[in-house]
Structure 1
Amino acid sequence: MHYFSGLRPADSFIVHTNYVQSSLSEDVLKRLYIPLIGLESIAVYQYLSQFINGHQVSEPETHYLILNELKMNLSHFEQLRERLEAIGLIKTFLKTGEDQCFVYKLISPVMPAQFFNDPMLSVFLFQVVGKERFQQLKKHFCTDTIDLSDYRDVSKNYMDVFGTPKEPNHSIFNDNEKIIKTNDSLGIPVHQQTFDFDLLEMLLNQNLITREQLPKETCELITQLSVLYDIAPTDMRRIILQSLSADQTISHEDLRKNARDFYQLEHQGNLPILTEARKSEETEDQTQLSWFEMMDTTSPIVMLASISKSEPTQKQKRMIETIIEREKLSFGVINVLLQYVMFTSDMKLPQSYIEEIASNWKKLKFESSRQAYDHVKKLQKQQAERKTEQKVHKTRLRPSYEKTPEWVAQMKEGSVPVAAHEDDSLEAEKRQLEQELKNFWKEDN
C-alpha cells in the first residue's frame, strides 16, 4: 500500500477544467477574487490554466516546471493552491503509488449575479474593500435596463416560422456528456456535514416545520450562514421561524438578513472577515520571529498605544523622540526597552530610569529587538540565580547569639578587685584582657 508522502518536484500533475474561460470570468477573477485571496493565488490559477489552452485535459507535467517558472518552493505553491481550494476555484485529486500524480481541476469563478447574492462571498468582499469600493465593484457588473412596461411582445415563436420539427436520429445525441458545458460554480465549498441538521429538524418539528419545507437550496444556504456567522442549530431555529413567509415557505432573503442581524447584535455591529487559519504545526521559533519582525518595524508610540489601549501622553512621546534622536536606537530596541520597564515597574515609565537603560544599551551596540530581548532574558536569569543563592545561603547560616564577656559583667557588678588597678602592672592587665577576649570568641564560635 502506497501513501501520500508529501509534494515532491518529480510528482506529475494534470490540469483539467469544466468551463471555458471568457473575458467576463477574467474580469471577475481580477476584481472580485484578488481582494479575497491575493494576487499570488490568482496568478497560480491563471498559470495552471495555460496548460489547457484549447483542450479540457492537459498533458502530464512535473512540479519541476512550477519550481523553475514560478520561482517558488513547493510548500509556498501548496499554500496558494489551498487558498484556491478553500475559495472554490480548484479541486485537487491525488493518485498515490510509486509515482504520485495530481489532477488540478479548475472550477469556474462565481459569476457576478451569483457572487453578490452569495452570503459568504459578498460579506467577505464587503469587509475587505469597504462600502464605497464594494458599491463601485457592484455597479461595474450591473447592466443598463430599459423600461418595457409601455411595450408589448410581438416576437414570433418557432412554430410560426419553421413549423413542426421532424424526429431526429437518436445517434446524433451520442457522447453528448463529453461536450463542454458551463456549470454554475458552487462558490465556497461548505459541506452540510458541518451543521447538525438532525437537531435542527427535531427543533423545527416542535413548530410544525417539516423536512419538505427545507429543500436542497435552503439547506445549502443554512449551511453557509451557519459557517459564516457561527450559528448553532438552536439559534438557527429562531432565525428560520422569523424568516417564514405567509405561505409557510422560508424566504432566502429574510433568512440572510435575520442571520446577519443576529451576528451583528452579538458582535457590536461588525461583520465577519475572511481570515486564514494558522497552521497547527507552526513552530515557536516562527512565532517569535514574527514578533521580533513586528517589534523592529513598529513605531514605539504605536506599540505603546496598543499595550495601554490609549494614546500616549505628550510627555511620553517627547521622551521616546528624545531617545531616538540622542541614542540613535532602533525601533525594535526601544520597543523591548519600554516593555521591559513597564512590566518590571508596575506599568509605569520612569523617564530617568528609561534614559539610563537606553544609554547603557547604546554602549552595548544593540541594533535589533532580538539582541535586546536576549539581553533582558540573560539579566532575568542572573537575577533568578542570585535570589536562589541568597535563599540557600540564609538557610545554611546558624543563628548568632551575642554573649557578654565575663569581665564586663564583673565590672557592672563591681566585683573587680581594686588591687588589680593598683598593684598589677599595665602589661599584666593587657594580657588578662586579651585572654578574656580569646575565651569569649572561642565560646561564641
Structure 2
Amino acid sequence: MQYFSGLRPADRFVVTTNYVATHLTDEILKRLYIPLIGLESIAVYQYLSQFLEKGQVSDEVTHYIVMNELKMNLSHFEQLRFRLEGIGLMKSFMKVTDEAQHFVYKLISPVMPDQFFNDPMLSVYLFQTVGKERFNQLKRHFCTERFDVTGYKEISKNYIDIYGTPKTPPAAVYDGNDHLIKTRASLGIPVHQQTFDFEMLEMLLAQNMITKDQLTKEVRELIAQLALLYDIAPTDMRRIILKSLTSNQTISHEDLRRNARDFYQFEHAGNLPALTLAAEEPVTNEKTWFEMLDTTSPIEMLASFSQSEPTVKQKRMIESILEREKLPFGVMNILLQYVLLTSEMKLPQSYIEEIASNWKKLKLSSSEEAYHHAMKVEQNRKTRQTKQREKASYEKTPDWVSQQETPQQTQTPDLEEEKRKLEEELKNFWKEDEA
C-alpha cells in the first residue's frame, strides 16, 4: 500500500488557481494577510503564483527548485504551506506512484475587503493583531470614495434605448463556457461544520420552537465559525441564537456575530481571541535526532554537519543520487555522515553511489534503520581488520622470535566499546540546538 512518506526533493508538483491575480488581490495579501500569517507564508504564495505565467495550470516541476530558489528545507516549506491552507489561501492534493509523489498546489483567491471585514474570524484576528487604530486605517484604505448625489437627477440611458432589443445568440456562443475564469467569493478560513455539534444545538433549539429550516446553510457556516473562534458550546450558542432572532423569527447574522463577541469578551475580561499556531508535542532527544534526520534536506544536513557550504558539485551529486535511487532523506543523511566519518571528511562520489545502490536494494526506509545498519557494517569491518592484523603478525614473525619470547595472550579490541564510540561520534556531529 502506497502512502505519503514525507516531502522529498524529487517529488513533483504543479500549481493551479481559481482566479486571476490583480493589483487589488496583491494589496489584500500585503495589507490584510501578512499581519495574520507572516511575510514568509505570503512570499511562498506569491512564489508559487509565478509558475502560472503561461496560464491557469503550470508545468510539472520537482521540489528541488523550491529548495534551491527559496533557500529553505522542505519541512519548513511544508509548515508555511500549512499556514496558507489553514487561512484559506491554498489547497493541496496528492497522489503516489511507483516513481514519485505528485502534488497539486491550488492557489485560492484572497477574500475581498467587504467579505474580509465582515468575516467573524478574519476581522477579529486582524483587529487583535494590529490594534484598533491600524485596523481602522486598513479598513479606510479599502473603502471607495462616495459622493453625495442628493439633489441630482439620474439621466443615464439604458441598453434598449441605445442598442435596441437584444437578438437571441446561437447555442455555439456558450460552448465551453463552464471552464472560463469566474469571479467567486472566497470561502475565507475553511471551517467544517463537523467541528460543531449541530445535532445537540437543534435538539436544544427545538425546545424554543426553532426549526432546522431556520438554520440555513449560511447561518450554519456562521455558527461553525463563531463556535470555533470563540470556543462556544451548543448550550451557550443556543442562548446567543435566541438573542439574535428578528421579529419575523429569522436569525440576524449581524446580531449573531455581535452577541457571540459579547459573550466571549464577558468571559475573558473584554479581550478578543488572537490567531496562534497549534503547539507541538515535546519529543525525546533520541526521537528528535532520528525525526530530524528523516525530515531534513541532505544538503542542509551536510552544511550543518561539515560547518561549511557544500560545493555545487556535492549538491548536484546528492540531488542526482536522491532522484535516481529514491532514497528517503533520513537514509541519505546517515549515508553521508557515515562516509564523512570513515573517509577523513571526504565525499568520494563513486563510493557514495555504490553504498546508495546497496542500501536501496536493502530497502532501508528511515534514518534509524540506516543508522543501525551502518553500525553493523562498521562492526564487521573492524572485526575483519582485527583478524587480518592478527594473521599478518603471525605470518611475519620468525620462529626463533616466538621461541625466545614469553607467550602472551593476543589483545583483541572490545567491539562493543568500538561500536559505542562510533555511535557517540555520529550523534555528536549532529545535534539540534535546544532553546
TM-score computed with the length of structure 2 as normaliser: 0.64
Which residue of structure 2 aligns with residue 6 of structure 1? 6
Which residue of structure 1 aligns with residue 219 of structure 2? 218
Runs of at least 5 residues in structure 1 that lack an aligned partner in the other structure: 289-445
- Aligned partners of 1:19 and 1:180 also within 8 Å: yes
- Please give the residue correspondences for 1:329-348 in structure 2 after superposition, counting only pairs within 5 Å: none
| Alpha-carbon separation, structure 2, partners of 1:147 and 1:241 | 38
Structure 1 position 101, deviation (Å): 0.3
| Alpha-carbon separation, structure 1, partners of 2:217 and 2:268 | 30
Which residue of structure 2 aligns with residue 64 of structure 1? 64
Query: Matched residue of 1:30: which SS?
Result: helix
Which residue of structure 2 aligns with residue 192 of structure 1? 193
Structure 1 position 105, deviation (Å): 0.1
Query: Matched residue of 1:101: which SS?
Result: strand
Listed one character per residue, the Cα deviations across residues 232-272 of structure 1 (whole Å, up to 9, x for unaligned) are 11110100000011111111111000000000111111100
- Please give the residue correspondences for 1:203-282 in structure 2 after superposition, counting only pairs within 5 Å: 203-280=204-281, 282=282
Structure 1 position 179, deviation (Å): 0.9
CA separation of 1:285 and 1:33: change in aligned 2, threshold 3 A? farther
Partner AA of 1:90 in structure 2: M
Query: Matched residue of 1:143: which SS?
Result: coil
| Alpha-carbon separation, structure 2, partners of 1:136 and 1:165 | 45
| Alpha-carbon separation, structure 2, partners of 1:115 and 1:285 | 43
Listed one character per residue, the Cα deviations across residues 179-215 of structure 1 (whole Å, up to 9, x for unaligned) are 1112211000000010111111111111111122111
Number of aligned residue pairs: 288
| Percent of pairs with identical residues | 68
Query: Matched residue of 1:104: which SS?
Result: strand
| Alpha-carbon separation, structure 2, partners of 1:154 and 1:167 | 28
Q: Which has the higher contact order (CA 8 A, sep 6+)?
A: 2
Which residue of structure 2 aligns with residue 88 of structure 1? 88
- Aligned partners of 1:28 and 1:109 also within 8 Å: yes
Partner AA of 2:34 in structure 1: I
Query: Matched residue of 2:274: which SS?
Result: coil
Query: Matched residue of 1:128: which SS?
Result: helix
- Please give the residue correspondences for 1:127-166 in structure 2 after superposition, counting only pairs within 5 Å: 127-166=128-167
Partner AA of 2:209 in structure 1: L
- Aligned partners of 1:36 and 1:125 also within 8 Å: yes
Q: Which has the larger radius of gyration?
A: 1
Structure 1 position 175, deviation (Å): 0.6
| Alpha-carbon separation, structure 2, partners of 1:160 and 1:102 | 53
Structure 1 position 285, deviation (Å): 5.0
Considering only aligned residues, what root-mean-square deviation do their CA atoms show, in Å? 1.8
Listed one character per residue, the Cα deviations across residues 281-308 of structure 1 (whole Å, up to 9, x for unaligned) are x42559x9xxxxxxxxxxxxxxxxxxxx
| Runs ≥4 residues deviating over 4 A | none
Partner AA of 1:78 in structure 2: E
- Please give the residue correspondences for 1:76-115 in structure 2 after superposition, counting only pairs within 5 Å: 76-98=76-98, 99-115=100-116
Structure 1 position 100, deviation (Å): 0.9
| Alpha-carbon separation, structure 1, partners of 2:166 and 2:175 | 20
Partner AA of 1:29 in structure 2: L
Listed one character per residue, the Cα deviations across residues 93-141 of structure 1 (whole Å, up to 9, x for unaligned) are 0011222100000000111111111000010011111111111111111
Partner AA of 2:62 in structure 1: T
Query: Matched residue of 2:220: which SS?
Result: helix
Which residue of structure 1 aligns with residue 368 of structure 2? none
| Alpha-carbon separation, structure 1, partners of 2:247 and 2:155 | 36
| Alpha-carbon separation, structure 1, partners of 2:148 and 2:234 | 44
Partner AA of 1:200 in structure 2: L
| Alpha-carbon separation, structure 2, partners of 1:207 and 1:153 | 49
Query: Matched residue of 1:180: which SS?
Result: coil
Query: Matched residue of 2:34: which SS?
Result: helix
| Alpha-carbon separation, structure 2, partners of 1:96 and 1:217 | 36
Query: Matched residue of 2:92: which SS?
Result: strand
Partner AA of 1:93 in structure 2: F
Runs of at least 5 residues in structure 2 that lack an aligned partner in the other structure: 289-435
2:15 corresponds to 1:27: no
Structure 1 position 153, deviation (Å): 2.6
| Alpha-carbon separation, structure 2, partners of 1:153 and 1:172 | 34
Partner AA of 2:190 in structure 1: P
| Alpha-carbon separation, structure 1, partners of 2:143 and 2:167 | 41
- Please give the residue correspondences for 1:298-337 in structure 2 after superposition, counting only pairs within 5 Å: none
| Alpha-carbon separation, structure 2, partners of 1:157 and 1:54 | 39
Which residue of structure 1 aligns with residue 74 of structure 2? 74
Structure 1 position 91, deviation (Å): 0.1
Listed one character per residue, the Cα deviations across residues 50-103 of structure 1 (whole Å, up to 9, x for unaligned) are 000140000000000001000000000000000000000000000112221000
Query: Matched residue of 1:231: which SS?
Result: coil
Partner AA of 1:22 in structure 2: T
| Alpha-carbon separation, structure 1, partners of 2:12 and 2:280 | 26
- Aligned partners of 1:25 and 1:108 also within 8 Å: yes
Which residue of structure 1 aligns with residue 52 of structure 2? 52
- Aligned partners of 1:3 and 1:97 also within 8 Å: no
Listed one character per residue, the Cα deviations across residues 302-330 of structure 1 (whole Å, up to 9, x for unaligned) are xxxxxxxxxxxxxxxxxxxxxxxxxxxxx
Partner AA of 2:144 in structure 1: T
